[in-house]
Structure 1
Amino acid sequence: MKILVTGKGGREHAIITALRESAPDTKIFAYPGSDAISEIATRVEAKDLLDLVAFMQREKVDLCVAGEEAYLVKDRGLANLCAEAGIPCWGPVKEAAQLEASKAFAKHFLKRHNIPTAAFSIAHTKHEALRAITTYPVVLKFDGLAAGKGVAVCQTEAEAVAFLDEVFTSRTFGEGDMIVEECLTGPEISIFASVCDGSYHILMPARDYKRIGDNDQGANTGGMGAVASRQLADAALLEQIEETIVKPTVAGLQKDGLKYRGFLYFGIMLTPTGPQVLEYNCRFGDPEAEAVLPMVRGDFAYYLLAGAQGTLKRDLVHFVDGWSVCVILASAGYPASSRNGDVISGLDGVNGARVFHCGTRKGEIGFETNGGRVLAVVSQGATREEARGKAYEAAQGISFDGLQRRSDIAKMHFE
């Protein structure tokens, strides 16, 4: 079998590792990939998506796996182009991927299908957004892809004005509207499902840590760590989430004529009145993927192939018991900026953990920083404390100038 995975970060490194371990003889390509990914997959050069699909046709690629979300909505859409070329794609078509690409689309979808979510309004200008805010705290969401950074929980008017200036004045995230949303309270949980037309398979739940600093202080990031375990949600909670959120979402996609084959992420707040949807992602979360995928066992490669071909074969994979903890090492300046070129030391000495490369490149004397989130250090254990201890022990052996790392991953929210 030949598989091509799109993307270049830690999530894609984790996906390709899981594919490689489940099917050692599979030929794996990566586009655009990274220097670290090139050690386990063959990087592909292509000038655009049409060129990439032509490559897959020439190489007779059996399966395309969408890692990064941008390709799903770029141009005519990765999955759409694959369908035209007869290549099975594990990732939704462009029309369905609007669930992530447009938060307004997602909120209207949730409302239309009676799926619990926060009350909201949509603003086209800074003035409209300020007028729509009636109380604080308030959640402001940019209506578009923003690498996990287009959301602000504003406690005061000053914070709201600052974020609105980013969106409407500086256009930090590009052109787009603003969703003004009720601020929900409660612990968060990430639920992942494999969706194949009208069928779904709920995978291992996870929880990520968005803020740059301990105790959820500081700026929002793409994620500074994650914890994964089936113990994050008991049977009653999972059943409630399935009945009120997952099942009606899949039914809604079918009713709206939106073809969906791929991973679907549900960001959920466990409020005092029940679970409510914060957001959808049309791919595996990051850094949750780095925590969840080392727990998968079975024929992951053929599981994805069968799903992309139209049959969800749940019995091909399962998830082991225990806990998995992911600690992100970020570069100097992140998330406002990132510093590249700092030499990374200690990678060769890592024991009892996996290291997925999020933003690195090969330099003259080894790997160096090349992005905001640099490395994901991941370890598993029978207990949360064991997994956390092993992950932090491994992380402490890695260093580079300006390194940022939270110290409370898998501790906060549990103690």
Structure 2
Amino acid sequence: MNILLLGSGGREHTLAWKISQSNKVKKLFVAPGNAGTSKIANNIDVKVDDFGQIKELVLAENIEMVVVGPEDPLVKGIHDFFLQDAELAQIPVIGPQKLGATLEGSKEFAKTFMKRHNIPTAAYESFTLDSMEEGFLFLESMNPPYVLKADGLAAGKGVLILNDINEAKEELKAMLADAKFGVASQTVVIEEFLNGIELSCFVLTDGEHYKILPMAKDYKRIGEGDTGLNTGGMGAISPVPFVDGAFMQKIEERIVKPTIVGLKKDSIPYVGFIFIGLIKVDGEPKVIEYNVRMGDPETEVVMPRIKNDFVEVLQAVAEKKLGELRLDIDERSAVTVMTVSGGYPEAYEKGKEIFGLDEIYDSLIFHAGTKEENGKVMTNGGRVIAVTSYGNDFREALAVSYKNIEKICFDDIYYRKDIGFDL
């Protein structure tokens, strides 16, 4: 079959790598893709939210399945666009409809969903410009640190964790009155700070059945020891050493099942990936957030551990036969380390030539922010290259990734040397 994958990051290169291994694929197209996907698929210069151009591409290339990588087109309703178009309605889209995508598109929507279905999460309240004074009073009733979240999509930058009450009030005002994150912060969710260790749970559902994919743990802060600004992710590990059978059972019974059942109870049609951001607090799992797609860079360690033909898995989702499928998981650990441009996640330069990629043999290389120019691979984003390796445990895998990262060179390269430090 001909498959179209939407996106251009490390997640999409990893998905393209996995999909391209299937003998069920005739042609794989990635829109817009990057320098990595161009080696294994046909890159098409179409934006992920240009639904008109996507339709033209789908019809012109006889696309038989669309896999949506990032959240933006899902929140904007690409799945609904297909269902409402007579020429596209029969083509399966892997990714939820707009209503389901609101789980990521609105923090308030997600929190009320969790509350309604008794899914453990942090206590919270929501505020708008009209109720900003109440927001100040709510902050005064809490103990630090204070967690402020822009309700809408803010490219991973809309969450603030602050220790000072006055600073928290200033930031609440900046978000609500000064539109610090634009329309994303017209509503702000203030919630209690949960003290624990974070991890990522990925679920694939056909709307009826579900499969839990390998668990992972990512590292969001730019600085070693989890310091500094939040990023899109500096590295990830799978499996997660502290997730034993008993803890996994708690996650499934208290969080995954109620989420899937809750979607059905609320008549929210949902086909695709659910990312559940978790935190382990005093031995108990709680939900920090939902995302409606795979995480990045967790995809770079989750997909390499799935042994199945992934197109068969996606077909089972499209045909609502996921319950009949058995996932075959690699027992080895997988670790990825992200190289980034100097200055990221703040100002950074693009267009730096990348050297050394052809010298790496015993790791997987996934392109996150790259482009090809005149046969050269150039940087084209803050997060640039992810280096994924296998090992008998995460330490062994990390050693391989770090050894190979030393072969990669571009101007002002940076990466964290302490991935897994807290395990």
Task: Using structure 2 for the length normalisation, give the TM-score.
Answer: 0.92
Shift of 1:313: 4.9
Aligned to 1:70: 72
Matched, 1:99 2:103: yes
Matched, 1:309 2:335: no
Matched, 1:243 2:253: yes
Contact kept in structure 2, 1:90 and 1:305, CA below 8 Å = no
Matched, 1:359 2:365: no
Aligned to 1:155: 163
Matched, 1:141 2:149: yes
Contact kept in structure 2, 1:303 and 1:313, CA below 8 Å = no
Secondary structure of 2:263's counterpart equals: helix
1:319-334 equivalences in 2 (<5 Å):
319-334=329-344
CA–CA distance in structure 2, aligned partners of residues 382 and 240 of structure 1: 26
Shift of 1:26: 3.0
Q: What CA RMSD, in Å, does the superposition of the two structures yield over aligned residues?
A: 1.9
Secondary structure of 2:112's counterpart equals: helix
Aligned to 1:108: 112
Matched, 1:33 2:33: yes
Aligned to 2:265: 255
Aligned to 1:171: 179
Deviations 1:140-192 (A, max 9, x none): 11111122221122122355356446534653432131110100011111011
Pick aligned residue for 2:61 from 59, 62, 65 = 59
1:285-296 equivalences in 2 (<5 Å):
285-296=295-306
Pick aligned residue for 1:49 from 43, 48, 51 = 51
CA–CA distance in structure 2, aligned partners of residues 207 and 244 of structure 1: 19
| Runs (4+) off by over 4 Å | none
CA–CA distance in structure 1, aligned partners of residues 170 and 330 of structure 2: 44
Contact kept in structure 2, 1:129 and 1:178, CA below 8 Å = no
1:77-226 equivalences in 2 (<5 Å):
77-84=77-84, 85=88, 86-125=90-129, 127-133=133-139, 134-157=142-165, 159-161=167-169, 163-164=171-172, 167-168=175-176, 171-175=179-183, 176-226=186-236
Letter in 2 for 1:156: D
Give aligned-pair identity as a percent: 40
Matched, 1:403 2:405: no
Contact kept in structure 1, 2:217 and 2:240, CA below 8 Å = no
Letter in 1 for 2:316: A
Pick aligned residue for 2:345 from 320, 335, 338 = 335
Aligned to 2:396: 386
Shift of 1:351: 2.4
Shift of 1:281: 0.6
Secondary structure of 2:350's counterpart equals: coil
Contact kept in structure 1, 2:34 and 2:372, CA below 8 Å = no
Contact kept in structure 2, 1:206 and 1:232, CA below 8 Å = no
Aligned to 1:11: 11
Shift of 1:413: 1.6
CA–CA distance in structure 1, aligned partners of residues 330 and 167 of structure 2: 43
Aligned to 1:368: 378
Q: Structure 1 residues 89 and 96 mapped into 2: Cα distance closer, same or farther (>3 Å)?
A: same
Letter in 2 for 1:118: A
Contact kept in structure 2, 1:297 and 1:318, CA below 8 Å = yes
Shift of 1:314: 5.6
Deviations 1:106-127 (A, max 9, x none): 0010001111000001111355
Shift of 1:60: 2.5
CA–CA distance in structure 1, aligned partners of residues 125 and 22 of structure 2: 45
Secondary structure of 2:402's counterpart equals: helix
CA–CA distance in structure 1, aligned partners of residues 278 and 290 of structure 2: 9
Deviations 1:295-342 (A, max 9, x none): 111221121122023221563542100211110111121112231112
Letter in 2 for 1:60: N
Contact kept in structure 2, 1:192 and 1:202, CA below 8 Å = yes
Deviations 1:60-88 (A, max 9, x none): 322111101100022xx111122232211
Q: Structure 1 residues 115 and 173 mapped into 2: Cα distance closer, same or farther (>3 Å)?
A: same
Question: Mean alpha-carbon deviation: is it higher for 19-28 or for 262-271?
Answer: 19-28
Q: Structure 1 residues 14 and 26 mapped into 2: Cα distance closer, same or farther (>3 Å)?
A: same
Shift of 1:25: 4.3
Shift of 1:289: 0.3
Q: Structure 1 residues 297 and 26 mapped into 2: Cα distance closer, same or farther (>3 Å)?
A: farther
CA–CA distance in structure 1, aligned partners of residues 384 and 25 of structure 2: 29
Task: Name structure 2 gaps, 5 residues minimum.
Answer: none
Task: Name structure 1 gaps, 5 residues minimum.
Answer: none
Letter in 1 for 2:398: R
CA–CA distance in structure 1, aligned partners of residues 170 and 351 of structure 2: 31
Shift of 1:230: 6.1
Aligned to 1:413: 422
